[in-house]
Amino acid sequence: MKVRIATRKSALALWQAEHVADRLRAIPEVSEVELLPMSTKGDEILDRSLQKIGGKGLFIKELEVAMQRGDADIAVHSMKDVPAEMPDGFCLASTLERANPADALVSRNHVAFSDLPNGARIGSSSLRRQAQLRMLRPDLLIEPLRGNVNTRLAKLEAGEFDAIILAAVGLQRLELDGHITEQFTTKQMLPATAQGVLGIECLEERNDLRALLAQLNHAQTVQTTTAERTVARGLQASCQSPVATFAEIDAGELRIRGLAAMPDGSESIRNSIQGAPEDAASLGNQLAQRMLADGAGELLERAAASG
């Protein structure tokens, strides 16, 4: 079987697609793998924040259209970019083992987070990161930052910011981790839903592909990703919402933590739940319901209105 992979054109997206291609080439039934790089709306509009562009799946819609047309068989995504609700006709066919979920500080002259001067300019367009940064350091000036990894690093180098926040895994995959000043713990900054996870999407009707791709599933990552995405779905959060969810399995027990916040860090709702890993979806739903009972729905409505 030949497998055609739709992918974004950025260096990181191409790394991810090539990583999946290598995994597929190791499967005997796969005769050939081809990458089909393409541009998405989220890649092309860089002068506005993701929240202002609006809509869901800003980085994946064009890839899905390619699969619908029959031009591509699968798409490889950073799971944190994938809406919690899959569009009709599509499915998440495989979830690869999670890499580093942490957020990383990249600062000029490797100045530690605690040593950044009062009023330091921090680049981040993520409302989730903005909220948690402001909880840690209300004095910081947080400004929008869009573009691919190298573009963001160049803006830091040019002096537009004192520091920027990026996913550690992206820097590590591109062998740019020498730029990392420090990584935030999950207690300091709860990651985005499924941050560090690669997922493979295909048409729901492609049973042949689904059987093939299931061979790449990592069981524990399937459980933690299911838990986190169920929380996000319950909160009706998009990948642009000031929401964080993080699940981990330790000593045979699944623990899920959730956060919803105002982007300015002035208010937040946190909660957690734990139980059996095989109950990931149920536990995720229970945590979402707890957070909604605590007022997360109203808080997120106000957060959206404030944007």
Q: Which superfamily, per CATH, for 1-96+197-217?
A: Periplasmic binding protein-like II (3.40.190.10)
The CATH T-level fold of domain 218-307 is Double Stranded RNA Binding Domain (3.30.160)
Please compute, for residue 180, the number of CA atoms within 13 A of its CA located in the half-sphere on the CB side. 18
Question: What is the pLDDT, as a whole number, of residue 40?
Answer: 66
pLDDT per residue over 104-159, tens digit each?
A: 999 999 999 999 999 999 999 999 999 999 999 999 999 999 889 999 999 999 99
Contact, 130 vs 231, CB < 8 A?
Answer: no
pLDDT over 90 for what percent of the chain? 86
Supply the pTM of this predicted model: 0.91
pLDDT per residue over 214-247, tens digit each?
A: 999 999 999 999 999 999 999 998 878 999 999 9
Backbone φ and ψ of 125, nearest 5°? -95, 0
The three-class DSSP label of residue 106 is strand
Nearest to 86 by CA among 230, 208, 221, 246: 230
The Cβ of residue 19 has, within 10 Å, a number of other Cβ atoms equal to 15
Of the residues 43, 47, 71, 81, only one is catalytic, namely 81
Q: What is the arithmetic mean of pLDDT over 268-281?
A: 98
pLDDT over 70 for what percent of the chain? 93
First to last CA, the chain: 47
- The mean predicted confidence, pLDDT, of the chain is 93
Which residues, in sequence order, are CB contacts of 138 under 8 Å at separation 6+?
Answer: 265
Question: In the 3-class helix/strand/coil scheme, how is 197-231 assigned residue by residue?
Answer: CEEEEEECCCHHHHHHHHHHCCHHHHHHHHHHHHH
**Residue 42 above 80 pLDDT?**
no
Question: What is the pLDDT, as a whole number, of residue 292?
Answer: 98
Question: What is the pLDDT, as a whole number, of residue 39?
Answer: 80
Question: What is the pLDDT, as a whole number, of residue 149?
Answer: 94
Is 103-183's fold the same as 218-307's?
Answer: no
DSSP 119: T
DSSP 249: E
DSSP 87: P
Question: What is the pLDDT, as a whole number, of residue 84?
Answer: 87
| Residue 81 falls in the annotated catalytic set | yes
Question: What are the extents of the domains in the chain?
Answer: 1-96+197-217, 103-183, 218-307
The CATH T-level fold of domain 103-183 is D-Maltodextrin-Binding Protein; domain 2 (3.40.190)
